[in-house]
Amino acid sequence: MNVYSADERSPADERSPADAPSLREAWELHASEWLAWTRRLGHDSFDRFHREQFVALLPPPGRLTIDVGCGEGRVTRMLKAAGHTVVGVDSSRTLIAAAREAEPSIPVHLADAAALPLGDGVADLVVAFMSMHDFDDLEGAVREVARVLAVDGRLCLAIVHPLNSAGRFRSRDSESPFVIEHSYLGAYRYSDQVERDGLTMTFHSCHRPLERYTTALEDSGFVIEALREPGLPNDALRDAGDGRWQRVPLFLHLRARKGSC
């Protein structure tokens, strides 16, 4: 979810029903909406402030960087422009086609994050920008990331902060209370129907507590090197109501190193 205004979220937003399509299927269903959303310059938080917040976590370019959950390729293209030799992977056929059209020189693969079509130890950096909360099999994906990374390779990820996905502000007032109505400690599917400046997008994700992510990393031999909880920077404020997102983190950024075991 790349939004931060509570009034943009539909009152009907709620946990997804048990018979909902997989996250992989849901993102393919909404791929055309996402293309319109992400490719309108300055529309998404990525263009406005999130890209700069995340880049500060990245190590310099090495042998190979893998962008897992690359979508239509915006981060993949950013990495290439910064000097990375990069490969993209995503499970949406529509978004992979769009990534190939936007930058044919970058190899991208249609595959699930829990079954990466790459060899053991081929990369020294894996980037998962705003994608891990959209994976059906988080633990399987983390194991695959560990497999394709060389020893001392890094994983840099950004997700919707679990506090953010568990609750919401009551209103746009700058002092509005932030309320968790369900369980922070549980894991559950949810969807956000968002409308902004004439564009609509339905984001399908899975809320998981922070411990679920750190345990997956621990079990796959990762050691956390850095953890950040970015909120809304001053230069991204559009009105007084946005200030409430300077009290609660929007995102969670993490860099982890693959150990020798």
**Is the dihedral angle over the CA atoms 64, 70, 75, 76 positive or is it negative?**
positive
Inside any domain, residue 1: no
Check residue 9 and report its DSSP letter: B
192-204 mean pLDDT: 90
83-100 mean pLDDT: 98
Contacts of residue 101, Cβ cutoff 8 Å, sequence gap at least 6: none
Reported as a single tens digit per residue, the pLDDT across 199-226 is: 999 999 999 999 999 999 999 999 999 9
Q: How many domains does the chain have?
A: 1
Reported confidence tier of residue 260, pLDDT bands at 50, 70, 90: confident
Inside any domain, residue 186: yes
Decide: residue 192, CB within 10 A, 0-12 exposed, 13-18 middle, 19+ buried. Answer: buried
pLDDT at 258 (0 to 100): 98
Q: Which residue range(s) make up the domain with 219?
A: 6-258
Q: What is the CATH number of the domain that holds 153?
A: 3.40.50.150
Q: What percent of the chain has pLDDT over 90?
A: 80
Inside any domain, residue 54: yes
Inside any domain, residue 232: yes
CA distance 225 to 259: 12
Position 97 pLDDT exceeds 50: yes
Check residue 146 and report its DSSP letter: H
Reported as a single tens digit per residue, the pLDDT across 225-256 is: 999 999 999 988 888 889 999 999 999 999 99
Q: What percent of the chain has pLDDT over 70?
A: 92
- Amino acid at position 5, single letter: S
Reported confidence tier of residue 12, pLDDT bands at 50, 70, 90: very low
33-50 mean pLDDT: 91
pLDDT at 36 (0 to 100): 94
